[in-house]
Amino acid sequence: MAVHARARGSQEVADVARSALVREIAASGAFAGDRGWREAFAAVPRHLFVPSYYVGVPGGYERRWGEHPDPAARERWLRGAYDDTPLATRLRDGELLSSSSQPSLMATMLVALRPADGDRVLEIGAGSGYNAALLSYRLGEENVVTIDLDPDITESARRHLDAAGYHPLVVTGDGARGVPGHAPYDRIIATCGLPVIPRAWLAQCRPGGRVVTPFATGVAALDVRDAGHAEGRFLATPAYFVPLRGTARPAAQPPLPTGLPRRARESDLFRFLLALTRGSLEAEEAYALWEREGMPTRERYGLTVRGEREWAWLDDPEGPYVWPLPEPG
């Protein structure tokens, strides 16, 4: 009887916390009026995908898990699973390997994906499996494929998805190569950062499809014209994701010169420009451009992939402010 009562109590806590999370995401504007995604977040229990996670504390991380012997600690785990924050789910030697992304950012990216009923979606970066569950709820599990390089991550994602009642295809492999055996896809969404847009994604996406992916410290939404051409702008939101394993990490930005004005040194938007141009501009040159153009927000920037060329741009892909990106490896 006590066990059943505890289960009922935990379920009530989870239901209340999930409803509060959905209201918080809605209040942020992330659903953008898309009721389908609001229903998905209300239906899919996030805590089943994070049976344990880590929160930052002074000097490192603290682990929280659902089987903790202390009831108060279990409740902290359960309530924390519904905070609108990213949750670190896998660490190795202090390095973050996998996480469950911030739910409001996930909602923003899913809305930007613009899927239609029956669309087939490839997710790059299985993580905890939570995003694949949201996609499965909205589009049907038969239309969802998710991939991750680490077999431990894909195995745990399968377990979490099973526990929640969803069974999309979970593949262990190199996400930069996509999953050609199940192509073509109507939509591709990545939950990890890359230094370039893999051409395999465009080849596996139908013309007229869409790719939504983290890039630099933002999220790009690219419309696919054909297997060698995609173009689109960045969303307004900042975004910081774990790099896709097996690919080169974006080059770390050097410290900003102390001579730059304080508003540049403290501005996320200025640092985004530096991350996007990746050394094509010196910091002083970038600052002059940034100030001259009115401290542009992320939506004014975009990416173009055409054949073997890939470049970032401000306002116009053929305009005066374009920066070539590294050729794909």
Residue 232 has pLDDT above 80, yes or no: yes
From the list 175, 271, 257, the residue with the least C-alpha distance to 218 is 271
Sheet holding 87-92, edge to edge: 60-65, 52-57, 87-92, 95-100
DSSP H helices, the chain, are 2-28, 35-43, 71-80, 103-113, 130-139, 151-164, 199-204, 262-265, 268-277, 283-292
In tens, the pLDDT along 273-289 reads 999 998 789 999 999 99
pLDDT band at 326 (very low <50, low <70, confident <90, very high): confident
The fraction of the chain above a pLDDT of 70, given in percent, is: 93
Q: For residue 279, what pLDDT is reported?
A: 73
pLDDT at 3 over 50: no
Level-2 CATH architecture, domain 2-234:
3-Layer(aba) Sandwich (3.40)
- Confidence grade of residue 5 (pLDDT, cut at 50, 70, 90): very low
Who has greater pLDDT, 95 or 240? 240
pLDDT at 247 exceeding the cut of 70: no
Instruction: Give dist(CA 207, CA 226) in Å, integer.
Output: 5
DSSP 9: H
Question: Three-state SS for 258?
Answer: coil
Q: Which two tokens stand for residue 151?
A: 């077999």
Reported confidence tier of residue 10, pLDDT bands at 50, 70, 90: confident
pLDDT digits (tens, 9 = 90+) for 217-227: 999 999 999 99
Query: Which one of the listed residues 98, 100, 101, 156 is annotated catalytic?
Result: 98
Q: Are 243 and 194 in contact (CB under 8 A)?
A: yes
| 44-70 per-position pLDDT tens digit | 999 999 999 998 888 878 899 999 999
List residues bridging with 230 in a β-sheet: 224, 305
- Look at residue 1 and tell me whether its pLDDT is greater than 50: no
The order of strands in the sheet holding 309-314 is: 169-172, 144-148, 121-124, 185-190, 205-215, 218-226, 229-234, 301-306, 309-314, 322-324
On whether the CB atoms of residues 259 and 232 are closer than 8 A, the answer is no
pTM of the model: 0.93
Q: What is the pLDDT of residue 2?
A: 43
The per-residue pLDDT for 57 is 82
Per-residue pLDDT reduced to its tens digit, 12-41: 999 999 999 999 999 999 999 899 999 999
The mean predicted confidence, pLDDT, of the chain is 91
Instruction: Name the band, by pLDDT with cuts 50, 70 and 90, for residue 9.
Output: low
Non-local (6+) Cβ contacts of 57 within 8 A are none
Q: For residue range 295-318, what is the model confidence (pLDDT) as tens digits?
A: 999 999 999 999 999 999 999 999
Q: Does residue 156 carry a catalytic annotation? A: no
Asked if 74 contacts 64 with a C-beta cutoff of 8 angstroms, the reply is no
CATH 3.40.50.150 domain locations along the chain: 2-234
Q: Could you report the per-residue pLDDT of 83-132, keeping only the tens digit for each?
A: 999 998 888 776 777 788 999 999 999 999 999 999 999 999 999 999 99
User: Could you tell me the two tokens for 33?
Assistant: 């009026």
4: left (phi over 0), alpha (psi -120 to 50) or beta: alpha
